[in-house]
Chain A
Amino acid sequence: MTLQIHQQVDARGLSCPMPIVKTAQAFKAVPSGALIEVLATDPGSVKDFAAWSRTTGHELIEQTADGGVYRFVLRRK
Chain B
Amino acid sequence: MTTTTLERPLKTTSASPLPLPAPEIEGAVKTKELVIVNWSGELDKVWPVLILSSTAAASGVRCRVFVTFWGLLPFVTDQKRIVGDNWMQKMLTLMQRPGIDHLKLSKMNFLGMGPWMMGTLRRQYGVASPRELLEAATAMGVEFIPCQMTMDMFGLKREDLIDEMGEPAGAATAIEIMTEADASLFI
- Distance (Å) between the CB of A4 and the closest chain B CB? 24
Contacts of A20 in B (CB 8 A): 55, 58-59
Asked if A15 is at the interface of the complex by the 8 Å CB criterion, the answer is yes
The reply to whether the CB of B51 lies closer than 8 angstroms to some CB of chain A is yes
Residues of B contacting A25 in the complex (Cβ-Cβ under 8 angstroms): 58, 136, 139-140
CB distance from A18 to the nearest CB of B (A): 5
Q: Are B60 and A55 within 8 A (Cβ)?
A: yes
Contact A24 B58 (CB under 8 A): yes
Q: Which of B54, B60, B61, B128 contacts A15 (CB 8 A)?
A: B128
B91 interface residue per 8 A CB criterion: no
Cβ contact within 8 Å between A17 and B126: no
In the complex, B161 has a CB within 8 A of chain A:
no
A to B contact number (C-beta, < 8 Å): 45
Q: What A residues does B125 contact at CB under 8 A?
A: 15
Sort chain A's interface into a size bin.
Answer: 10 to 19
In the complex, the chain B residue whose C-beta lies closest to that of A53 is B59
Interface positions of B from 44 to 61, Cβ below 8 Å from A: 51, 54-55, 57-61
| Contact of B94 with A by CB under 8 A | no
The 8 A CB mask of A8-46 against B (1 = contact, 0 = none) is 000001111110110111000000000000000000000
The reply to whether B60 and A21 form a contact with Cβ atoms under 8 Å apart is no
Report the Cα distance A57→B61, complex, angstroms: 12
Closest CB in chain A relative to B133 CB, distance in Å: 8
Report B13-41 CB contacts with A as 1/0, cut-off 8 Å. Answer: 00000000000000000001000000000
CB-nearest residue of chain A to B127: A15
B126 touches A21 (CB 8 A): no
Q: Give Cα distance in the complex from A18 to B126, angstroms.
A: 9
Given contacts A15-B125, A17-B54, 4 further A-B contacts (CB under 8 A): A21-B54, A21-B128, A25-B140, A52-B59
Q: Which residues of A contact B (CB under 8 A)?
A: 13-18, 20-21, 23-25, 52, 55-57
Taking beta carbons and an 8 Å cutoff, which residues of B are in contact with A? Answer: 32, 51, 54-55, 57-61, 125-128, 133, 136, 139-140
